[in-house]
Structure 1
Amino acid sequence: MAGLAESGSNPDVDLLYDINGLAKDAPGWLDRTVGFVGEYGLLLAMVLLIVACWWGVRRRPGGAEDAASSVAALVWAPLAAAIAVLVNVPIRGFVERPRPFLDHQGLEVLVSGKTDYSFVSDHATITMAMAVGLFVASRKFGVVGIVIALLEGFCRVYMGVHYPTDVVGGFALGTAVALLLSPVASMLLTPVLKAVDRSPRLGWLVRSRAARLGERDGFAPGARSEVAAEERDLAA
């Protein structure tokens, strides 16, 4: 593959050329699609996944404390991503690693305008931090989130804007921030979400109306409908 000679015995650069080389052989429409997905699409998918998880959590039967804890974990996911990106600012400034296409010839670069440093990848950091935060809230949604983060990492190398180690470093940073600060975040956010749950105007952010009615009447929403059906049958 072109450029391998200058990579020497560096496995990081070798893998960069191997993965980015796929872009050379792919049709133009596929490269454009991967470029858009890797730059914007997977970040949007992660946000939508968190929203979908929130929608399911707030409709789930359970007490106010359980609901507040679950929603607090979801709120922590994007906050963890934001904190991880802030932590990455001094890391990038200290390492000062140029983008791979500046030091290595023959790469297929799918996006332009990347003039900042390469290590570590912000995209990999953000998606993995949100994925791990989501995993704390919901194993099912979290696994999907981790798959999205892994795809993001692959896309960044495929696009020619990051070394594989940039991506691995981003995964490690995002995971560390999301996990290590999760207990503190839960301790701070859960009381806030409990207060929101008690609010007549904002309570829907924590629990849906059906979940509230189910708790008030002593039934889960599904159980209430079943009891109503039985009462109708008896009356008939």
Structure 2
Amino acid sequence: MTAPLTPPPHQPPHNNGHSDPWQAPDPMTGHLPPAPPAPEKDGPGLRAELREAASVTLGVALVGLLLGALWLWLAPRIPLVSDSTAVYLKDTEGEQAVGVDGTFTLLGLAFGAVSGLVVFLWRKRGGIPLVVGLALGSLLGGLLAWRFGIWLGPAQDVAAHAKEVGKGVVFDAPLELKAKGALLAWPLAALVVHLGLTGLFGPRDPDPYAGYYDHAPRAAEEPPGSTQA
């Protein structure tokens, strides 16, 4: 003969998803609060998130080639001229150098906004690895755009270029980014746009107590002994 399988009196029985019998009732309704929802798997897992972050980093960085080409195409040229002994600015009062930095900054902001939007639409659930990959890819993309634009642009050896074109002939100065802070325009814009979209339109965690008080009995909301007119 075996003893009945009953829990000891000092331990509550397993509730199998129901409310804990030892839990005090809610003072407002007189009813026990709902049992917490069963834990669910959150996201695809760390390994998958790291793969997605690596893909974002590589993809966004490669877009820097396009930014570099656009920078070379849209940036103003700085004309130089040589008198066979030295090289001078043809327009000493020109602001082309400021325009070169400004063009790179504006392009970086535009590319950052687009990349942040695309990454959000691709994976709306977000996640720290994805945000880190976006930031790192944007920074690498800006560096790649900077060096690629310079490589595509006019020759870097000004003296040799002046000797090649001859005395009194106007030629373009090498493409140069003097304000290195412009390299941060892309990652900053990407993070602001992505985090803003995630905060506004990202998925929300379900509220386990949503609608609980709405479905509480009406008698629990009225004090004992009250009457209706």
What is the TM-score when the length of structure 1 is the normalising length?
Answer: 0.26
Larger radius of gyration between Structure 1 and Structure 2? 2
Normalised TM-score (structure 2): 0.27
